[in-house]
Each structure stands twice: as structure tokens, then as C-alpha cells.
């Protein structure tokens, strides 16, 4: 489990296609405190650490994960939002995030509003019903509050701190973004279906 509070920006330093895609991610984390088998959310995707070095870790990305996320578009040099798994007693500053991506949203507009940036995204049709004004979503691993919803489109405002502490400062129209809907929204919808 994660909180959606990004604690490092990593860089993809190597990609190797084997049976699965193997990626090396450069990080500012103290890798001496990371175990093989640990989970690290990388652009919101829960990935398992399979090798470690002084300032990097390796992960394997399955074909299933590549088909459901934007990780298939990773290139060497790509910057990614990172978050280590939640530990008992950690502050829950965002919302409960599983690291299991529901789909990929597309950035359709970016507009500065004062010091903040307003980003409008288009959700896949089957996920739009789970996104509500003032509800939570995780986008590329970042816990965010939805400002407004219009059909499949929804708006998010990024304050300067979020733009600096994550990869959101470089967002552009056309970007494909990993979307994880709020777990509570999923259960409420399911209860309505069976009730």
C-alpha cells in the first residue's frame, strides 16, 4: 500500500527486453535500506525490486503491466515519480493507493492559473463513473483531488510544490498518465450494482 505522496523522482537509466521488460531506475533513496522483493511505486505502478546498486534498483515489468499502464512508453532518461511502500505508523498524507493501475488517462489541456497549473485529463470510458468532484485519484502515483468533472474529462490543479516535488512540472498535452481510481469509489459502485 502507498499514500500517493511522492518521495523521490527517479530516472530510467537502462531498459532491457527479456521475457519481460527489465528496467533500472536511478534513485536518491538509500538503497542500503531497501530489500530485494520490496515494493516501490514507480509512476504509480507497484513494482518489485529484483536487484540493487548504490544508487539504483532493477524491476521486471510483465506484458500484462505494460498493456494496462504507460510503462511501455518508458525510455532511457525518463523521470518517474517514486514512493516506497507504506509502513505501519507512517503518516497517511494522501489517500490509500494500491499501486494497481486501472487504466491510462490522457492530458487534453494544460493552463496556468496564477502560480498553479490546471490540467484537464480524459479518463477511459469505463472508469469515468468512478471519478467525482472533490474525490481522490492517483495519477502517475500522485494523490490528487479532483476539482471538476465533465463526462469523461476531469480537472486537477497542481500547486508549485507538487510541480517541483514530482514530474508534474513537465506535463504536456498528449501525455498518457497512469490512473488509479479511489478504492472507496470502486466499492461504492460495486455496492450499487449488487444492491
Q: What is the mean pLDDT of the chain?
A: 93
Domain count, the chain: 2
Last residue of one domain, picked from the residues 84, 111, 136 = 84
Instruction: Report yes or no on 2 lying in a domain.
Output: no
Instruction: Report yes or no on 3 lying in a domain.
Output: no
Both 15 and 44 in one domain: the answer is yes
Q: How confident is the model at residue 1 (pLDDT cuts 50, 70, 90)?
A: confident
Both 188 and 130 in one domain: the answer is yes
Q: How confident is the model at residue 18 (pLDDT cuts 50, 70, 90)?
A: confident
Both 148 and 112 in one domain: the answer is yes
Both 18 and 66 in one domain: the answer is yes
Question: CB under 8 Å to 101, separation ≥6 — which residues?
Answer: 44, 45, 65, 68, 69, 178, 179, 180
For the sheet containing 142-145, what is the strand order? 142-145, 136-139, 176-181, 103-113, 116-122, 153-158, 148-150
Both 70 and 109 in one domain: the answer is no
Last residue of one domain, picked from the residues 84, 119, 144 = 84
Question: What is the Cα–Cα distance from 13 to 20, expressed in whole angstroms?
Answer: 17
Instruction: Report yes or no on 62 lying in a domain.
Output: yes
State pTM to two decimals. 0.93
Q: Domain limits at 19?
A: 8-84
> In the prediction, which pLDDT does 195 show?
63
- In the predicted structure, residue 145 carries a pLDDT above the cut 80: yes
> In the prediction, which pLDDT does 128 show?
93
- In the predicted structure, residue 138 carries a pLDDT above the cut 80: yes
Q: How confident is the model at residue 28 (pLDDT cuts 50, 70, 90)?
A: very high
Both 69 and 108 in one domain: the answer is no
Instruction: Report yes or no on 51 lying in a domain.
Output: yes
Alpha helices in 34-182 (DSSP H): 63-68, 160-165
Question: What is the Cα–Cα distance from 26 to 54, expressed in whole angstroms?
Answer: 9
Instruction: Report yes or no on 121 lying in a domain.
Output: yes
The CA dihedral of 13, 16, 20, 22, to the nearest 10 degrees, is -30
pLDDT in tens, 73-107: 999 999 999 999 987 767 777 788 999 999 999 99
Both 148 and 70 in one domain: the answer is no
Q: How confident is the model at residue 185 (pLDDT cuts 50, 70, 90)?
A: confident
- In the predicted structure, residue 146 carries a pLDDT above the cut 70: yes
Percent of the chain with pLDDT strictly greater than 70: 98
Instruction: Report yes or no on 33 lying in a domain.
Output: yes
Instruction: Output the domain CATH number for residue 61.
Output: 2.40.30.20
Residue 109 corresponds to which cell in the numbers above? 489541456
Q: How many CB atoms lie within 10 A of CB 167?
A: 20
Both 122 and 70 in one domain: the answer is no
Question: CB under 8 Å to 58, separation ≥6 — which residues?
Answer: 22, 23, 24, 25, 49, 50, 51, 52
Mean pLDDT confidence for 116-124: 98
Last residue of one domain, picked from the residues 57, 84, 111 = 84
> In the prediction, which pLDDT does 182 show?
87
Both 74 and 129 in one domain: the answer is no
Amino acid at each position: 500500500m502507498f499514500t500517493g505522496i511522492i518521495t523521490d523522482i527517479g530516472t530510467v537509466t537502462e531498459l532491457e527486453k527479456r521475457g519481460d521488460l527489465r528496467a533500472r531506475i536511478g534513485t536518491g533513496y538509500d538503497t542500503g535500506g531497501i530489500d530485494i522483493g520490496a515494493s516501490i511505486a514507480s509512476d504509480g505502478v507497484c513494482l518489485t525490486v529484483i536487484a540493487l546498486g548504490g544508487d539504483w534498483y532493477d524491476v521486471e515489468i510483465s506484458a500484462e503491466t505494460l498493456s494496462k499502464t504507460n510503462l511501455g512508453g518508458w525510455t532511457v532518461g525518463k523521470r518517474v515519480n517514486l514512493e516506497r511502500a507504506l509502513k505501519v505508523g507512517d503518516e497517511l498524507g494522501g489517500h490509500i493507493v494500491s499501486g494497481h493501475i486501472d487504466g491510462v488517462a490522457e492530458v487534453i489541456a494544460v493552463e496556468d492559473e496564477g502560480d498553479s497549473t490546471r490540467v484537464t485529463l480524459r479518463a477511459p470510458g469505463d472508469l469515468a463513473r468512478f471519478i467525482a468532484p472533490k474525490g481522490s485519484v492517483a495519477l502517475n502515483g500522485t494523490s490528487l483531488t479532483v476539482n471538476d468533472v465533465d463526462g469523461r474529462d476531469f480537472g486537477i490543479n497542481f500547486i508549485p510544490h507538487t510541480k517541483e516535488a514530482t514530474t508534474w512540472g513537465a506535463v504536456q498535452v498528449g501525455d498518457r498518465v497512469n490512473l488509479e481510481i479511489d478504492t472507496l469509489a470502486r466499492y461504492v459502485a460495486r455496492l450499487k450494482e449488487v444492491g
